C-alpha cells in the first residue's frame, strides 16, 4: 500500500468515525489537514528567520534551511507543493491559529505554546546560548550563568515572542531586555554594541561564530536556561490521525540520519558564503 493510499485511508476512516458516532461538537469540528492540503494542492508553511533552521536570502527573498528541507520532503511524500508564508516569531503561533498557514516551522515545544497549539514530534534539540563579542569589557570568563548577566548595565537582546524571550524574560530582574524581530537584528545588536548578549538558539550562534571567528563567541549558561525539542506546530483542531501521519514520516527521517545530514549541509552552505 502506498503512502498516499495510507493518507487517504486514514482520512476516510476519520470521516466515518465522526459520521457514525454521537460525539461532542468539538470532536466533529476536527480539521482534516492533509485532505484539505491534497484538495488545494499546497501545504502552507509559516517561516521566520532562525539560521540554520530557516534562512531568508536578503538578495532574493528566497527561503531555505533544514526545517524547510524536511517539509519539502514531506510534501513530496504526500503529493503537495510547499507554499512558504513569511512571518515573525512574535506572530508564529497567532498566525497559525488564525489559519494564515497550516504548519509553523521550528517551534520550541514548551507548556505555554502547547496550551495553544499541537506539536509534531521534535526533530531537533534546542538550548539557549548567549552570543557576545569577545572584546566587550563587560563580559568576563567567570560569567557562566544567566544570573551573572542579570545586573544593571547589561543589555540582553532576544527575538520577540521566540523561545528565548519566553524563557528569559521571567528570570531577568535587573538587566535591560530589548526585543527584536529576528536573528539578523540580534547579531547586529551585538556588533553595534546596542546589546551585550543575544539570547537565542545556540545553533543560530554556531553559524555566527563560524562566520565571525575573530569576535564572536557564546556562553551556554549553567544551569541551562532552556533545553527543549524543536518541532512543527499545528492547530489544536487538527485531527490526531493527521499528526500521526506527519510523526511517522519524521520518525523515519530522524532514524535514517536524514535530518542530521540536512542540518550539516545547511551549516556548510551558510559558513561557505
User: Where is average pLDDT lowest: 73-77, 159-163, 178-182, 242-246?
Assistant: 159-163
Q: Give the burial class of 29: count Cβ atoms within 10 A of its Cβ; 0-12 exposed, 13-18 middle, 19 or more buried.
A: exposed
Extended beta strands in the chain, E state: 42-47, 55-56, 63-64, 81-86, 103-108, 118-119, 124-133, 155-159, 176-180, 197-201, 216-219, 227-234
pLDDT tens digits for range 181-229: 888 999 999 999 999 999 999 999 999 999 999 999 999 999 999 899 9
In angstroms, the CA 259 to CA 110 distance is: 22
Which pLDDT does position 164 carry in this prediction? 86
Q: What does the pLDDT look like over 41-87, one tens digit per residue?
A: 999 999 999 999 999 998 999 999 999 999 999 999 999 999 999 99
Nearest to 4 by CA among 50, 46, 49, 37: 37
Q: Give which of 167, 230, 159, 182 is closest to 48, Cα–Cα.
A: 182
User: Using alpha carbons only, how large is the chain's radius of gyration in Å?
Assistant: 20
Asked whether the bond before 13 is cis by omega within 30 degrees of 0, the reply is no
Alpha helices in 193-239 (DSSP H): 202-211
Q: DSSP code of 196?
A: S
Q: What's the predicted TM-score (pTM) here? A: 0.78
- Residue 30 binned pLDDT confidence (cut-offs 50, 70, 90): confident
**CATH top class, domain 3-124+228-272:** alpha beta
Domain residue extents for the chain: 3-124+228-272, 126-227
Report, as an integer, the average pLDDT of 29-50: 93
Residue 146, SS3?
helix
* Domain 126-227 -> CATH class: alpha beta
Residue 200 grid cell? 537565542
Amino acid at each position: 500500500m502506498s503512502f498516499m493510499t495510507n493518507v487517504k485511508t486514514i482520512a476516510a476512516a476519520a470521516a466515518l468515525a465522526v459520521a457514525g458516532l454521537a460525539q461532542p461538537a468539538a470532536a466533529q469540528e476536527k480539521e482534516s489537514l492533509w485532505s484539505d492540503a491534497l484538495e488545494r494542492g499546497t501545504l502552507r508553511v509559516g517561516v521566520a528567520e532562525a539560521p540554520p533552521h530557516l534562512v531568508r536570502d536578503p538578495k532574493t527573498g528566497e527561503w531555505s534551511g533544514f526545517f524547510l528541507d524536511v517539509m519539502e520532503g514531506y510534501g513530496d511524500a504526500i503529493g503537495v507543493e510547499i507554499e512558504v508564508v513569511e512571518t515573525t516569531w512574535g506572530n508564529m503561533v497567532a498566525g497559525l491559529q488564525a489559519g494564515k498557514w497550516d504548519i509553523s516551522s521550528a517551534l520550541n515545544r514548551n507548556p505555554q505554546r502547547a496550551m495553544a497549539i499541537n506539536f509534531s514530534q521534535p526533530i531537533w534539540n534546542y538550548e539557549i546560548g548567549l552570543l557576545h563579542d569577545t572584546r566587550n569589557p563587560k563580559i568576563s570568563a567567570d560569567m557562566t550563568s544567566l544570573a551573572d548577566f542579570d545586573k544593571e548595565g547589561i543589555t540582553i537582546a532576544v527575538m520577540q515572542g521566540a523561545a528565548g524571550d519566553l524563557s528569559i524574560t521571567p528570570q531577568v530582574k535587573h538587566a535591560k531586555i530589548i526585543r527584536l524581530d529576528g536573528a539578523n537584528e540580534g547579531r547586529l545588536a551585538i556588533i553595534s554594541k546596542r546589546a551585550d548578549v543575544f539570547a537565542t538558539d545556540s545553533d543560530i550562534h554556531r553559524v555566527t561564530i563560524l562566520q565571525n571567528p575573530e569576535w564572536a563567541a557564546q556562553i551556554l549558561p549553567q544551569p541551562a536556561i532552556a533545553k527543549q525539542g524543536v518541532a512543527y506546530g499545528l492547530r489544536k483542531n487538527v485531527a490526531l490521525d493527521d499528526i500521526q501521519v506527519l510523526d511517522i514520516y519524521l520518525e523515519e527521517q530522524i532514524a535514517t540520519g536524514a535530518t542530521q545530514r540536512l542540518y550539516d549541509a545547511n551549516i556548510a552552505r551558510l559558513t561557505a558564503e
